[in-house]
Structures are given as C-alpha cells and as structure tokens.
Amino acid sequence: MESFNLAEIFSEVKELKNIDRVTMMRVLEDVFRSMLAKQFGSADNFDVIINPDKGDFEIWRNRHVVPDEEYTDPNTQIPLSEAKKIDEDYEVGEDVSEEFKPKDMTRRAILALRQNLSTRLQELEKNNLYAKYKDRIGDIITGEVYQVWKKEVLVLDDEGNELILPRDQQIPGDFFRKGDTVRAVVYKVEMKNNKPLIILSRTSPKFLERLFELEVPEIFDGLITIKKIVRVPGERAKVAVESYDERIDPVGACVGMKGSRIHGIVRELKNENIDVINFTNNTQLLIQRALAPAKISSIKLDEANKRAEVYLQPKEVSLAIGKGGLNIKLASQLTGYEIDVYRESAEDEEDVSLDEFADEIDEWIIDELKAIGCDTAKSVLQVGFDDLVKRTDLEEETVREVLRILKSEFE
C-alpha cells in the first residue's frame, strides 16, 4: 500500500484540545466517507481503516462480481472479466475488495478533505470546551494571566484554553501582570459568535465559599455547612455557618488556630474583612450575631414586612452601622430583614424626638437622619457635621441648617 501520512496533511489536528482519540478517529472516518460519497455517489461499500499510531489510513472498496452483460454500476459492481484479471479464481456472485489508494484522490479532493476535517474538529473542540466548563460553573480554577486589558484579563487554564476575567468580576484591589497565577470561579459559560465564552469571577460569593472549602477540611467533608454568604468584594463579608456535629465549633473551625485558616482567605481577597457567625433559626439571635461587634439592647420584629427595629446604646450605633454602612447592609442581606437602628436614651436624659421638629425640618430630611440611626435631637448632634455629610445624602448647607435648629432647642 502507498502510505498516505495524515500527520503531514492534517498537522493542525495535533494542536486541538478537548478531543479524545476515539472521537478523533470517528470524525476522520466520517470525513473520508463524505469525500467518497461525493466522488462515487455512495460510500456504503467502502471500508475506512484509520491507523492513529502510524498516522496513515487504508480505504478498501468492495464490489460484487457480475456477468459482463449485467454490468451497470462501476462503484458497486465489477464485471467478471475484470475480476479475473485480479484473480482467476473469482466467480459471479463473489465480492472483490480493492484498495483505494491516495494517488486516486485528486488534489481538489484532498484540499476539500483537509478543510472539511479542520472545520469538523474545530467545531467539535468548541462544543467539548463549552460542555466541559458548563459542568464546572461554580468550581474554582487556577490559571495563568496571559494578557491584561483595560476591561478584562485573558487567563489560560492548564490546557491552554482561553478564559475571561472581566474588570467588574475582579476585586477592587486586584492587580495582574502577564505570567501571574490567578484563582477564580467559573461564573458563566455561553456561546458567542459560535465560540465558547468562559467568564471567571473573584467577586462572586461562590468564590469565597470555594476558598472556605479549600481551607477548612470540615466544610469539604460536609461536617460544617455554609448556610449563606454576603459580601462587598474587597471590603467586608459575612458568612453564616452551621455544624451537624455538636462537638465541632463551626466558627472556630473556620477561623482556625490564631486565625490560621481564615488568614489565607483574607490575603486572597485583598484583606477583605470576613465575619464568620454561627447560624441559627432564631431570627432575633441571628440579627444580633449579624450586627456584631455591636451589642444590642433589644429588637422588635415585623415578620409580615420583614423589618427589624434594633435598639442600642448610643456608643454602639456606629459599630452596628459600620464604615460606610457596610455592617448593617450586609447584616440585612444575611438575615433577610430590613434593619433599622435606633439609639436608646436614658430615662433621665433630656432629649427631644426628631418628629417634634416636623414644622421646621422637612419629613424626608428626618427620614434620612433616622436611616443612620438618629431619631433624637441629641443623637444627631453627637454624630457631628462631617459624619452627617458622609453618612447621608444631605447637602452640606442642609446639614448646617439642621444642626442650627437642633442646637437652638437646647440653648
């Protein structure tokens, strides 16, 4: 047989990934049969044998021996006279197998074969890559930064597949250079322009969940369950955990000895402050834990509207609200309740409710002050001008006027 080297003609096939050998051989056979069907009208009487180890193939055509006068189809029939030239022992009714050699293929047929094969394999590779990562949504992966652009980073996995880490899925403190190693979760997989688009994320709560699974064996083994995660990437996160084994302290296990387990996660998340709390079905207790480190005096729940009125000592209010309002915002997301914070005043302390100033201060301004935990005149005065400007949406001039009105009450 004259060898026809597949490696020489289809060298680009070697560069394709995500295609196993069995699938590759099936595609090769299909492509050859398609070519034969075009040339002869049918490929049913051909045997295609692929030899992947040697990089060649064999094609055999099977034809039925018929009397010369009945010969009508040159593809499936061979006249007896011609069959006897091959072997004198052939008789009518027998089958003759002849090798179809590469030299019988035209140059145009070879070019068409190469193009068809290349198209089929690339399409198959795209579909396999899409299916592979579609099943890995939510899984953490480690890749290498290949290219850094303004709006996204191109990451290569260990097989050289291209993954995208968009800017809005990066932690604010992230900074990447080509060659850096990056960890993220598979966030979304979709087909765009007939090409799989694999989106990664470092801001998704799933990323934090997977990091806990890597660092805390009890979570990986199922002894501790993460009930819910809420986070503002790079700033703060709250994680509610629960243990199915009463001998295991879920918070202690997640934090580790002297913070050994959680420190690695915090570093990965660019020093994101992570609060781990013990989950409970007791709503009041869960809200109390979610607002830590603030110490709560009392809580009033409105189950129907999913609201909670939390009363604290004046010095605890700022702790409950947190820097930029993050603590109370995340506590609300974690518990599912809209939390309103109120200062608790001593009985003998002379103070005036903000509602008493409704004739001098617009109602929407009073609501804005209540939203940051100020429901009395003295509570507003204690916050001061600078913090009021930062923590509310009020204009500076409005804040000055409010403070003037409230101060005059005590003068």
What is the average per-residue pLDDT within 160-176? 93
Judge whether 45 and 63 are in contact, CB under 8 Å: yes
> Around 332, how many Cα atoms within 13 Å sit in the side-chain half-sphere?
18
Whether residue 256 lies inside any domain: the answer is: no
Instruction: Tell me which range, 99-108, 112-121, 289-298, is most confidently predicted by mean pLDDT.
Output: 289-298
Is the pLDDT score of 1 beyond 50? no
Q: Which residue has the higher pLDDT, 63 or 24?
A: 63
Residue 102 and residue 105: Cα distance in Å, rounded? Answer: 5
pLDDT average, residue stretch 316-337: 90
Cα dihedral 75/80/83/88 (nearest 10): 170
Q: What is the CATH number of the domain that holds 199?
A: 2.40.50.140
* Secondary structure of residue 267 in the 3-state scheme: helix
Average pLDDT over residues 107-115: 74
Residue 235 in domain: no
User: Residue 21 is encoded by which pair of tokens?
Assistant: 């050998």
Same domain, 76 and 109: yes
Whether 50 shows a pLDDT value over 80: the answer reads no
Rounded to an integer, what distance in angstroms lies between the CA atom of residue 160 and that of residue 177? 17
Contact 144, 156 (CB under 8 A): yes
Question: pLDDT tens for residues 216-243?
Answer: 999 999 999 999 999 999 999 999 999 9
Q: Quote the pLDDT of residue 347.
A: 47
Residue 54 has pLDDT above 70, yes or no: no
Closest CA to 402 of 26, 368, 266: 368
How far from 341 is each of 62, 107, 283, 314, 395, CA to CA, in Å? 87, 81, 16, 10, 22
In the chain, what is the straight-line distance between the N-terminal and C-terminal CA atoms, in Å? 111
| Domain presence at residue 339 | no
* Structural domain range at position 103: 6-126
The reply to whether 186 falls in a domain is: yes
Confidence of residue 56 (pLDDT cuts 50, 70, 90): low
Q: Are residues 39 and 119 in the same domain?
A: yes
Check: CB of residue 328 under 8 Å from CB of residue 291: yes
Q: Is the pLDDT of residue 8 over 60?
A: no
pTM for this entry: 0.65
Q: Which residue blocks in 41-180 are alpha helix, DSSP H?
A: 80-86, 107-134
CATH number of the domain where residue 395 is located = 1.10.150
Which of residues 126, 145, 162 is at a domain's end?
A: 126
Same domain, 44 and 102: yes
Local confidence band at 17 (pLDDT 50, 70, 90 cut-offs): low
With a cut of 60, say whether residue 7 has pLDDT above it: no
Both tokens of residue 8? Answer: 């020489």
Q: How many other CB atoms sit within 10 Å of the CB of residue 261?
A: 21
**Structural domain total, the chain:** 3
Do 276 and 262 contact (CB within 8 A), yes or no?
Answer: yes
Reply yes or no on whether the pLDDT at 14 is more than 60: no
Do 104 and 187 have their domain in common?
no
91, 13: one domain: yes
Q: Are 13 and 119 in the same domain? A: yes
Could you give the strand order of the β-sheet that contains 236-243, starting from the edge strand earlier in sequence?
Answer: 224-232, 236-243, 273-278
pLDDT tens, residue by residue, 242-255: 998 888 999 999 99
The neighbour count for residue 96, using CB atoms within 10 Å, is 16
Of the chain, the percentage scoring pLDDT greater than 90 comes to 38
Of 126, 153, 186, which one is at a domain's C-terminal end? Answer: 126
Residues 30 and 88 in one domain: yes
And the tokens for 411?
Answer: 């003068």
pLDDT band at 42; cut points 50, 70, 90: confident
My answer on whether 178 and 114 are in the same domain is no
Q: What pLDDT score was predicted for residue 370?
A: 86
Cis bond upstream, residue 250 (ω within 30): no
> Residue 70 domain-assigned?
yes
372: in domain: yes
- Claim to verify: residue 98 and residue 146 sit in the same structural domain: no
Residue finishing a domain among 126, 146, 175: 126
114 and 143 assigned to the same domain: no
Same domain, 151 and 104: no
pLDDT digits (tens, 9 = 90+) for 362-380: 889 988 888 888 888 888 8
**CATH number, residue 30:** 3.30.1480.10
Element (H, E) at 377: helix 377-383
Asked if residue 141 and residue 121 are part of one domain, the reply reads no
DSSP 248: S
Name the token pair of 120.
């089929």
Answer whether residue 182 shows pLDDT above 80.
yes
Please state which of the ranges 103-117, 153-167, 200-214, 314-328 shows the lowest mean pLDDT: 103-117
Q: Could you give the CA distance from residue 216 to residue 192 in angstroms, rounded to a whole number?
A: 37
- 257-305 pLDDT, tens digit each: 888 899 999 999 999 999 999 999 999 999 999 998 888 888 889 888 9
d(CA 96, CA 64): 6
What does 103-143 look like in DSSP terms, one character per residue? GGS-HHHHHHHHHHHHHHHHHHHHHHHHHHHHTTTT-EEEE
Domain presence at residue 367: yes
In a domain, 110, yes or no: yes
